[in-house]
Amino acid sequence: MTVSADDSLHDSGRPAPTARLFAALRLLRATAAGRIVGLALLVAVLALLSVYPLSMLLYGSLHSTPPGMAGTFNLDGYRDILTRENSITLVNTVGISLAKTVPSLALAVLLAWILARTDTPCRGALEVLVTLPFFIPPILTAMAWGMLGNPQVGLLNQLYQAITGSSAAPINVYSYGGVVWHMMQYSVPFLFLLIVDAFRAMDPSLEEAARMCGASRLRTFRTITLQLMLPALTGGAILSFIRGIENFESPLFFGAPAGIHVITTDIYDSINQRSPPQYQYATAVSFVIMALLFLIVLVQWRLLRGRSFATVSGKGYSPGIVRLGPWRWVTFAVCMLFFIVTVVLPVGQLLIGSFFKFFGFYQWDMLTFEHYEAVFGSSEFWRGFGNTMLLGLIGASATMVLGGLVAYISVRTKWRGRSLIDAMAWLPWMMPGIVLGVGFLWGFALLPRAIPIYGTIWALLLAYISLGTPLSVRVMSSAYAQLSFDIEECSRVHGASWLTTMWRIVIALSWPSFVVGWVLVFFGIMRELSASVLLYSIGSEVLSVVLLKLWVNGNAEQVSVIGLMMMVMVILFRWVQLGFTRRHLGTL
């Protein structure tokens, strides 16, 4: 471990603004008043980002008309929820989300263990490849799976029929199974990304101790490894479960034809397909869901309270690698199978289809580069791309800094009010995106004119930070929970200032998680549509809006070209990120 508590930050070459910032931070840290001011600032920022838009929605749920219109306060929205039909929809929604979260978590743990803790061949490449599905726009994978798994002419069913001679079509993506499967393609890599670094950043001496005491490998995994992963696993599972409740695309594409209704399609219909739009009902449903989800978060807090999950201590270590012998080819095959099924099959369709005039019609006379020419020759695409990159870079960085601060206060201090800011940061994650987008629209439009946010690119930036903060807080909380308090105390005992300790210990050791969180938030921004479409203004179009326009105008092939380009970016980002993580771990 190269981090030394004796090292200090007395670098004379530090530029003046940084020095001023550090001095301000020192002041904030040094006094109780400073701490209160710091906390108040943080509360104010979170209030603007999450409480303010939610308060607009709360008003909407309690008022007969949306903000800005004459009406009366009543509970009609909440009263309308209490129907038998809605109970069935709720059960459906929870059931589908559970059905995808549990196997996703199991699969993600297996993949994370294989790729972080075993000597499986080509782990580096596999780690990039298995996460790719998460970054593909859902609308594209839905289309691809529709072509692969429809019961009439789906390629997989045709393959089955050709091999077996049967006329049966065993695969039907337009079903409960199809909805769950499509969701899993996103939740497995998402959970994998959230937990893999927790596996990597674990001191193997704890597992070795269990093994020395006679525990089997399985028991060690169950009683030591998994237990120590509890913050990361429960945090990830809850995030994934909530996302499952709020998932919209999978039920819309695969559930609607099979008569499967979930809460988000109900909310979507009440806003977009009722006359007039039922905002009171939509917001009321969302708040009920929010309350239910918050109960789950409270359960997690209770579950983890008072327990220590520190695995990164002052002792030097390198992540223990399990030598699998010939079994490593089995684990390699598991990863490859996952990659082939979730990436090669759908993305292969998109890649091949992007070179033909129409998807699914692979004839020589339809071979073309016109979709690539159309995309790369479009000024709107490049404007959207430029805006998205700008918002992604600033937004992801700001979100991770904010999330890091909230997580630090929540996990590593005993300050009063820490639970409040943690809860405030959670809120946007529990509100379905379709509704939250409306909250931002109402909130920003009704701000006083002296605050020039509405109609500018900054409205999008604030919305993205708000939407990404819950994820960044979870990622950083899990990372901080693994850091032993001893190393911080050791640093202070050796004379390092609080800032030095923060910089050289806490930030240095949680840096890999910060980078993973950054990548997740960055690509979350690239894909975000619900808020973007309501907040973008002329000139500030973002990529997701460009994709929507192309899709609505029947240019699915051009959407695929952009989707494929996003995947190339993902591979590049992940390659840099993993290289960074390895170098970083190598120094520990």
For residue 7, give every residue at least 6 positions away whose Cβ sits within 8 Å of its Cβ, in sequence order, or none. Answer: 496, 500, 504
Tokens, residue 163? 């091999």
Q: Which is nearer to another protein, 258 or 490 (CB)?
A: 258
339 in Cβ contact with 129 (< 8 Å): yes
Encoded one letter per residue, x for contact with another protein by CB under 8 A and - for no contact, window 373-412 reads -------x--------------------------------
Q: Which is nearer to another protein, 134 or 442 (CB)?
A: 442
* Angle of the 263-272 helix axis to the 230-246 helix axis, nearest 10: 40
The candidate with the shortest Cα–Cα distance to 265, out of 277, 276, 253, 275, is: 253
Give first-to-last CA distance, the chain, whole Å.
Answer: 4
Stretch that binds another protein, among 63-71, 72-80, 199-207, 210-218 (CB under 8 A): 63-71
Residue 152 near another protein by CB under 8 A: yes
**Smallest distance, Å, CB 395 to another protein?**
22
Q: Which is nearer to another protein, 442 or 464 (CB)?
A: 442
**Smallest distance, Å, CB 265 to another protein?**
9
Q: Which is nearer to another protein, 113 or 254 (CB)?
A: 254
Q: Which is nearer to another protein, 2 or 379 (CB)?
A: 379
Residue 160 near another protein by CB under 8 A: no
Q: Which of 107, 126, 147, 202 binds another protein (CB under 8 A)?
A: 147
* Residue 498, Cβ density class (10 Å: 0-12 exposed, 13-18 middle, ≥19 buried): middle
Stretch that binds another protein, among 230-238, 273-281, 318-326, 342-350 (CB under 8 A): 273-281
**Smallest distance, Å, CB 554 to another protein?**
5
Give the Cα separation of 194 and 428 in Å (integer).
Answer: 19
Q: Which is nearer to another protein, 151 or 314 (CB)?
A: 151
Q: Which is nearer to another protein, 208 or 380 (CB)?
A: 380
Give the Cα separation of 321 and 114 in Å (integer).
Answer: 10
Give the Cα separation of 37 and 48 in Å (integer).
Answer: 17
Q: Which of 14, 219, 222, 274 binds another protein (CB under 8 A)?
A: 274
**Smallest distance, Å, CB 28 to another protein?**
36
**Smallest distance, Å, CB 47 to another protein?**
20
Amino acid letter, 472 = S
Q: Which of 64, 328, 455, 489 binds another protein (CB under 8 A)?
A: 455
**Smallest distance, Å, CB 461 to another protein?**
19
Give the Cα separation of 516 and 537 in Å (integer).
Answer: 30
525-549 residues labelled b (16+ CB within 10 A) or e (exposed): bbbbbbbbbbbbeeebbbbbbbbbe
Tokens, residue 479? 């990372």
Q: Which of 27, 33, 91, 153 binds another protein (CB under 8 A)?
A: 153
Give the Cα separation of 436 and 428 in Å (integer).
Answer: 7
Q: Which is nearer to another protein, 66 or 236 (CB)?
A: 66
482 in Cβ contact with 495 (< 8 Å): no
Encoded one letter per residue, x for contact with another protein by CB under 8 A and - for no contact, window 332-371 reads -------------------------xxxxx----x-----
**Smallest distance, Å, CB 278 to another protein?**
11
Residue 66 near another protein by CB under 8 A: yes
CA distances from 295 to 242, 300, 430 (A): 12, 9, 11
Q: Residue 63, Cβ neighbours under 10 Å: how many?
A: 20
Torsions phi, psi of 322, nearest 5? -85, 125
Site for another protein in 541-580 (CB under 8 A): 548-554, 556
Q: Which is nearer to another protein, 274 or 315 (CB)?
A: 274
Q: Residue 566, Cβ neighbours under 10 Å: how many?
A: 21
Residue 229 near another protein by CB under 8 A: no
Locus of tokens 């193997």: 204
The candidate with the shortest Cα–Cα distance to 398, out of 342, 446, 333, 469, is: 469
Residues facing 63 on adjacent strands: 73
Cis amide linkage into residue 15, ω under 30° from 0: no
Give the Cα separation of 198 and 195 in Å (integer).
Answer: 5
Residue 263 near another protein by CB under 8 A: no
Residue 252 near another protein by CB under 8 A: yes
Residue 168 near another protein by CB under 8 A: no
Q: Which is nearer to another protein, 253 or 408 (CB)?
A: 253
Residue 273 near another protein by CB under 8 A: yes
**Smallest distance, Å, CB 36 to another protein?**
34
Instruction: Please give the residue ranges that form the binding site for another protein (CB under 8 A).
Output: 66-69, 143, 146-147, 150, 152-153, 174, 252-253, 256-257, 269, 271-277, 357-361, 366, 380, 438, 441-442, 445-446, 454-455, 533-534, 537-539, 548-554, 556
